[in-house]
Amino acid sequence: MDDLSIFLAVFRENGFRAAAKRLGLSPSTVSERISALESGLGVPLLVRTTRSVVATAAGRELAERMSPLLGEMRAVFEDVASSLQDLRGVLKLNVTGAVMVDILPPLIDRFLARYPQVRIEIMVEDRLVDVTAAGCDAGIRYGEHLAQDTIAVPIGPRSQQLALAAAPSYLASRGTPSHPGELMNHDCIRLRYSSGAMVNWDFVKNGETVSIDPPGRLVIGVDGVAAAINLARSGRGIIATFENWLHPHFQSGDLEPVLDEWWDTFEGPWLYFSSRFMSAPLRVFVDFIGQERE
């Protein structure tokens, strides 16, 4: 079972050195354990080159089928341990970076204070992933289509807004737009997902829906949103992002709302997980979220 866990780490990290670092082992030990596993199975699992490690067809099948099984075994062991003493174990979450600014951290802080024996590992990425295949207990995303065997529960605010803002100095020099269409003539700061897609600029007012795709004088990856907001504060253009991220700057006067009567409202984030099996830490975390919302 240890060898299988090492193999899955290599498979997920796409390399021996990255897997060894994650596991706290030497690369030579990882290589030896993979070789032993391949020898025992009688089939190659990985194709090694000087630049990359690629799974064979057998390796991909093993990873896809064993990943959820090992996750369930880990959860069983944690449940047994927790049944004899205080709740303990590891809660692994795969989340979008949008919830790491001001939604998830305070929840995690209060959860850890209540359950001091639980450890939490958070993977941050904006792609929708199979959380079980990624070795996680649950994921947090916004409204994506989820598999049929997935359970989703709300976490954080039930509604949020895409807000536009600009520095007073920018609006004084360039004017304040009165309709979304006028944004095409302004310097806009756009955010881009790691997939390459831009964050949509959608607007709604009195039944009228408008989608704008300005070229963007500045285009910044979503992981750099803090820098993008600071550039907007410096007068470099109009930015569109979560209203709750911009609210402190509205209060300080560094930024002013733009087209606020057009801001689009959408559902808040959801915690989602497989209905097949829940670890003890996940069950308690789901209950904790429900109590927080009461």
pLDDT given for residue 239 in this prediction:
97
At 278 the pLDDT is 81
Q: Kind and range of the H or E element at 161?
A: strand 159-166
Q: Can you give the pLDDT at residue 42?
A: 86
3-state helix, strand, coil in the chain (%, to 5): 45, 25, 30
By C-alpha distance, which of 238, 246, 200, 244 is closest to 218?
238
pLDDT of 15? 82
Residue 268: Cβ-neighbour burial (10 angstroms; 0-12, 13-18, 19+): middle
Per-residue buried b or exposed e for 71-90, using 16+ beta carbons within 10 Å of the residue's own CB: bbebbeebbeebeeeebbbe
What pLDDT digit, counting tens, does each position of 178-213 carry?
999 999 999 999 999 888 889 999 999 998 999 999
Q: Which two tokens stand for residue 223?
A: 């992981």
Domains of the chain with CATH codes: 1-65 (1.10.10.10), 159-267 (3.40.190.290)
Cα–Cα distance measured from residue 80 to residue 120, given in angstroms and rounded to the nearest whole number = 19
What pLDDT shows up at residue 82? 58
Q: What are the residues facing 94 on neighbouring strands?
A: 123, 139
Query: How far is the C-alpha of 173 from the C-alpha of 44, rounded, in Å?
Result: 65
Helix (H, G, I), strand (E, B) or coil at 74: helix
pLDDT, position 79:
66
Angle in degrees, 0-180, between the axes of helices 2-13 and 16-23, rounded to the nearest 10: 120
Please tell me the predicted confidence (pLDDT) of residue 84: 44
Q: And the tokens for 73?
A: 């075994």
Measure the CA–CA gap between 199 and 81, rounded to whole angstroms.
Answer: 44
Closest CA to 111 of 290, 279, 272: 290
Beta strand extents in 70-158 (DSSP E only): 89-95, 118-124, 138-141, 150-154
- CB neighbours of residue 158 within 10 Å: 10
Predicted pLDDT at 197: 87
CB atoms < 10 A from the CB of 189, how many? Answer: 24
pLDDT digits (tens, 9 = 90+) for 2-49: 888 888 888 888 888 888 887 888 888 888 888 888 888 888 888 877
> φ, ψ for residue 211 (rounded to 5)?
-115, 125
Residues in the chain with pLDDT values less than 50: 84
Asked if residue 212 lies in contact with residue 177, where contact means CB atoms within 8 angstroms, the answer is no
